[in-house]
Structure 1
Amino acid sequence: MAARDSSKHRPAKGAAREHHENRLLVQSRGYFRRLGPGIVTGAADDDPSGIGTYSQAGAAAGYGFLWSALWLLPLAFAVQEACARLALVTGKGLAAIIKTTMPRWVLVLAVTLVSIANTVNIAADLASMAAAFRLIVPVNQAIGVIGFAMILAISEITIPYHRYSKALRWLCLSLLAYVAVLFVAKVDWSAVVSSTVFPQFDFSKASFALLIALAGTTISPYLFFWQAAEEVEERKQRPEDFEIDSEHPSGVNQNHMRAMRGDVFSGMLTGVFIMFAIMATSAATLNAQGITNIQTAEDAAQALRPIAGDFAGLLFLLGILGVGLLSIPVLAGSTAYAIAETFGWRESLELKPRQAKAFYAVIVVSMFVALALNLIGIEPVKFLILAAVLNGLAAPVLMAIVWWLARDKNLLGKWASPIWSKLLLGMATVAMGSLPLFWLLAK
C-alpha cells in the first residue's frame, strides 16, 4: 500500500492539530482501522467471564433482561468518557492523576481493588478459554491454561504498542461470531422488541443478583484504567498534535474531544450490542428449550450445538477464544499501568522490556498469579462468581473517584464535566452502589 501524503492532512503552523487524526476520518475508507482505544476497550468488556454472565441471563430469564442493554449503554459511556477525558487533557493515567490530586489512601484503595479484581478476572478468562479450546481440540485443561497464559504474556511484552493496538483492533472482529449466532438461531423478534422497549422487573432477590452481575460485567473497573492509559499512549504517539498555546493550555481542542467521544461511544456501543446479542441468542435457544442454568461461557456453547447446530456452537466457541485473546492482555495491561503510575515507574507498551522492567514484571506476575489460581484446582465457575463480586464491589468506589476528578475545574479547566456527564456518571455510581443494598433487602 502506498504511503499517505501526510502533508495533505497537516494543518498550517499555529493551527490546532487533531488528536488521533485518523479517528476523525470516519467517513472515508478504512473506518475500522481508524478507530482508537475506545473500540478495544468496548470489545474487551465482553470477555469470556462476561460471555458466561450474559449467557446465564438469557438462559435464566429469557428475553426478560434485554432492556438492561438500553439503560447500561449511556451509563457505561459516561464512565469511559470521563476516564478518557481525564487522560486526554492531563496526559496522565488514572492512577497518576489520583496520586497527585487525592489522599494516598484513596490511591492505595483504588489500585488494590482493581489489581485484585483484574487478577481473578484473568484467572476466570484463562479457565474459560482453555475449556472452550478443549471442546474443539481435546487437550488437558491445565495445558490449555498454561499455553494461553504464556502466549498472551509473551505477545504483550515483546510487541510494541503501535503494532499491538492494531492486533487488538483486529481481534475485535471475533465479536461478530455472536452477531452471526443471533441470526442463525430462531429468535422471536417481536418478543425481543417488546422486552427491550417495555422493561419488566419483579424485584426478587434472584433478579437483583442477575442485574448486579450484568451491571458489574458491563461497567468493569479494569476498563477505567485501560481507557485512560491508552489515551495517554495515543497522545505519546502523536505529540505534534497537541500544540500548547494561550487558547489551548492543555493542547486539547474541541475536535480532539469530539473525536474521543465518538471513539468511546463506538466502543461501548459495540460491547453492549454484543451483550444484547448473547442474551437474545441464549433466550431463543437455551431458555426456549428449558435450559435455565448455564454456569460458564463454554457450557453455553456446548448447549447451543444440538439446538442451533454445529455452526452456531462453533462460532460461539471461536468467539470465546478471540475475545479472550483480546481481553486478558487488557486486564494485565491495566493492572501494570495502575501499579507503575502509583510508584512512578516507567510505563508504556511501546517501551522495550529492558526499558520498563518493573512495568512488564507486573504483567508477568499478574499472569503467573492467575495461572496459579487455576492450577490449585479452583472450579472455573467459582472464578466467574468471584470476579463478578469483586468487580461489583470495586466499581462504585472507583466510579465515585472518577466522578470527583472529572468535575474538577482546577484539574481540567474548561474540559471539566458538563452537566450531562455529571448526571449520567452520578446516576451510574449511585445505581452500582445501591444494587447490592436492594439485593440484601429483597425477598
Structure 2
Amino acid sequence: HPEHYRHARWDTAFGAIITQAIMAAVLIATAATIGRLNPNAPLDTVHQLSEAIIPYLGNTWGRIVFSLGILGAGMVAAIVASLAGAWGWGEVTGFRHSLEHHPKDAPWFYGIYTTIIVAGAAAVITIPDLVSLDIGVEVMNALLLPLVLGFLVALSVKALPAEHRLRGPYLWLVLFVTILAGGLGVYGGLNSIPGW
C-alpha cells in the first residue's frame, strides 16, 4: 500500500546500512587479526578461519563469538532466502503468501518455505567443503545480479503507481548504477571461477 512506502524505504535503508556496517567491521577485524599471528596460515575450511580469529579473543570466547556469528548469519540467510522464495512464488501464482496467514490457509507458501529450508539444511549437511559451497553460492549470486537488478528496475518503471515510478534523470542514474553493479558482479563472479 502506498501509505507504507515511506516506512518501507526507511526500513530498507536502515537495514542495508546496519548490515553493511557489521560486514565491514567483521572484515576489517578479521583482516587485522589473521595476518598478525600466522600470516601464511591456510584459510580453506571453517575451522581454519576460526583458528585465525580465536587467539585474539581467547579459546573459549573466540569459539563462542565465532560460532554465534556463523549461526546468526546462517539463520538470517536461511529465513530471508526461504521467505523471499515462497513469497515470490505466491506473487507469481496468486496463492496466499504471507506469514499473517495460518498454514492451513496458505499451504503453498508454508510448503515452499519449509522445502527451501530443508533443502538448504540438506546441502550444508551433505556437502563437506562449506567454504567452496559458500564461494559457489556467492559466484552464482554475482552472475545472477544483472537479472535481479534488471527485473527490479523494470518493476519500478512499469508496476509502481504512476507517481512513484522511476523516470527522467533519476531513471538514467539508476540504470547507470544498475549496469555498473551488474557488470562488476559478473566480472567478479567470472574471475573467481578457475580457468577464466
TM range (shorter): 0.7 to 0.9
Tell me the distance in 1 between the aligned counterparts of 2:50 and 2:66: 6
Question: Would the aligned equivalents of 2:96 and 2:106 in 1 still touch at CA under 8 Å?
Answer: yes
Deviation at 1:321, TM superposition (A): 1.6
1:16-415 alignment, distance < 5 Å: 88-89=1-2, 252=3, 256-289=4-37, 290-291=39-40, 293-295=42-44, 299-310=48-59, 311-408=61-158, 411-415=160-164
Deviation at 1:272, TM superposition (A): 0.8
Tell me the distance in 2 between the aligned counterparts of 1:258 and 1:394: 28
Tell me the distance in 2 between the aligned counterparts of 1:298 and 1:335: 31
Question: Would the aligned equivalents of 2:44 and 2:131 in 1 still touch at CA under 8 Å?
Answer: yes
Deviation at 1:372, TM superposition (A): 3.1
Deviations 1:122-163 (A, max 9, x none): xxxxxxxxxxxxxxxxxxxxxxxxxxxxxxxxxxxxxxxxxx
Deviation at 1:414, TM superposition (A): 1.1
Tell me the distance in 2 between the aligned counterparts of 1:435 and 1:395: 6
Question: Would the aligned equivalents of 2:145 and 2:186 in 1 still touch at CA under 8 Å?
Answer: no
Taking structure 2 as the reference length, the TM-score comes to 0.80
CA 1:270 to 1:375, structure 2 compared with 1: closer, same or farther past 3 Å? closer
Deviation at 1:437, TM superposition (A): 4.1
Structure 2 residues without counterparts, runs of 5 or longer: none
Question: Would the aligned equivalents of 2:54 and 2:62 in 1 still touch at CA under 8 Å?
Answer: yes
Deviation at 1:277, TM superposition (A): 0.4
Tell me the distance in 1 between the aligned counterparts of 2:48 and 2:5: 42
Deviation at 1:266, TM superposition (A): 0.9
One-letter code aligned to 2:36: A
Deviation at 1:373, TM superposition (A): 2.6
Aligned pairs, number: 188
Structure 1 residues without counterparts, runs of 5 or longer: 1-87, 90-251
Deviation at 1:357, TM superposition (A): 1.0
One-letter code aligned to 2:17: L
Deviation at 1:435, TM superposition (A): 4.5
One-letter code aligned to 1:303: A
Deviation at 1:381, TM superposition (A): 2.0
Taking structure 1 as the reference length, the TM-score comes to 0.38
Tell me the distance in 2 between the aligned counterparts of 1:293 and 1:432: 31
2:165 to 399, 416, 420: 416
One-letter code aligned to 1:436: V
Tell me the distance in 2 between the aligned counterparts of 1:365 and 1:309: 39
Question: Would the aligned equivalents of 2:143 and 2:185 in 1 still touch at CA under 8 Å?
Answer: no
SS class of match (2:96): coil
Q: What is the percentage of aligned positions where both structures have the same residue? A: 25
Deviations 1:380-424 (A, max 9, x none): 12211221121112221110111122123x742111126446514
Tell me the distance in 1 between the aligned counterparts of 2:97 and 2:185: 36
Deviations 1:97-145 (A, max 9, x none): xxxxxxxxxxxxxxxxxxxxxxxxxxxxxxxxxxxxxxxxxxxxxxxxx
Tell me the distance in 2 between the aligned counterparts of 1:420 and 1:285: 42
One-letter code aligned to 1:395: L
Question: Would the aligned equivalents of 1:407 and 1:417 in 2 still touch at CA under 8 Å?
Answer: yes
One-letter code aligned to 1:280: I
Deviation at 1:434, TM superposition (A): 4.2
Tell me the distance in 2 between the aligned counterparts of 1:307 and 1:417: 49
CA 1:349 to 1:257, structure 2 compared with 1: closer, same or farther past 3 Å? closer
Question: Would the aligned equivalents of 1:396 and 1:430 in 2 still touch at CA under 8 Å?
Answer: no
Tell me the distance in 2 between the aligned counterparts of 1:323 and 1:393: 22
Tell me the distance in 1 between the aligned counterparts of 2:128 and 2:63: 26
Tell me the distance in 2 between the aligned counterparts of 1:349 and 1:422: 36
Tell me the distance in 2 between the aligned counterparts of 1:427 and 1:381: 30
CA 1:426 to 1:298, structure 2 compared with 1: closer, same or farther past 3 Å? farther
One-letter code aligned to 1:262: W
